[in-house]
Amino acid sequence: MNISDETVFFLHGFPQTTAMWNQVIDLLPDAHTCHKLALPCYQPHALQNRHENYSAKAMADELAGKVKQMNGGRPATVVGHDIGAYIAYILAFDHPDLVRALVVINGVHPQLYQSALMTDPKQAEASKYVAFLRSQHAEADLSRNRFKLLLQTHKAVTEGIKLPGEEAEVLIDLWSQPGVLSAMLDFYRSTNIHLPSLGEMSEDQVPSSTDTCRIAQPHLLIWGENDPYLLASSIRGIETLCDDLTIVKVSDAGHGIVGSHPKLITSEISKFLDGLEYKVDQKI
């Protein structure tokens, strides 16, 4: 069986756009069919008819419908970064029939991230930005002076790398659309991520593993080790939740690894997809 023409769906992070994947997709072999999916909260035309907040689960369910429609109901490989990775994990949990394989790049398994927040004071400190993004004044602060603070946030998460298609004016135009900024913040406001106080932090608070959080699909985790937002503790124990895991750690990369190391990202994804073909062949 030959699956060299694998269909691959790419999910972006906050506050980036689908353009973050342009370089990676351009470098991937043409045999693969690649789709960049905008998170639902980033689509102005879709916001007018929405009836619920965009939690990670709500976005995963909506994206599952798109994957099913665009790929004829067949399973595909899903690639996610940052909150796109968080949503990709939920896609794999809740819609396993649509996810053949999972690639996560500096993103976290929901259960392990919560565990790290409860047990690692450094990760809890690194995640304080979540409290700000949940605040009632976040929209006003982020949009003031033509989105100066949000542009600074974008620069921080991309490590200052200028990505084609994510120029300041393009981003400002998107963020200025009615309802978009609030919808972008919905992930943080509606997703069940508990930020503990120092007194709450305890090993006793760590959620136990359940079958519903396992990754049965082949899973590639690419991890830039210099990420100031997601620390090593947030992926500790990932091997216990996966049936078929490959981890690639990159010592000279951080959260913006997709932009800083596009050739490495492409190479690792290509090798992973080639391995999927071999594994399927072995089962025939």
Domains and CATH numbers, the chain: 7-283 (3.40.50.1820)
Question: Could you tell me the CA-to-CA distances from 185 to 11, 134, 262, 281 in Å, in that order?
Answer: 16, 7, 27, 43
Which pLDDT band, with edges at 50, 70 and 90, does 30 fall under?
A: confident
Confidence check: pLDDT of 116 > 80: yes
What is the structure's pLDDT at 213?
A: 87
Read off the pLDDT of residues 145-203 as tens digits, 9 standing for 90 and up. 999 999 999 999 998 888 889 999 999 999 999 889 999 999 999 999 999 876 665 55
Q: What percent of the chain stands above pLDDT 90? A: 77
Confidence check: pLDDT of 129 > 60: yes
Quote the pTM value.
0.92
Q: What percent of the chain stands above pLDDT 70? A: 88
Confidence check: pLDDT of 209 > 70: no
Whether 37 contacts 170, CB under 8 Å = no
Q: Which residues contact 116 (CB under 8 A, 6 or more apart)?
A: 108, 123, 231, 233, 234, 236
Q: What is the largest CA-CA distance in the chain?
A: 60
Which pLDDT band, with edges at 50, 70 and 90, does 43 fall under?
A: confident
What is the structure's pLDDT at 197?
A: 79
What is the structure's pLDDT at 90?
A: 97
Which pLDDT band, with edges at 50, 70 and 90, does 215 fall under?
A: very high
Distance CA 141, CA 149 (A): 7
What is the structure's pLDDT at 134?
A: 96
What average pLDDT does the chain have? 90
Q: Shortest CA distance to 109 belongs to which of 268, 237, 266?
A: 237
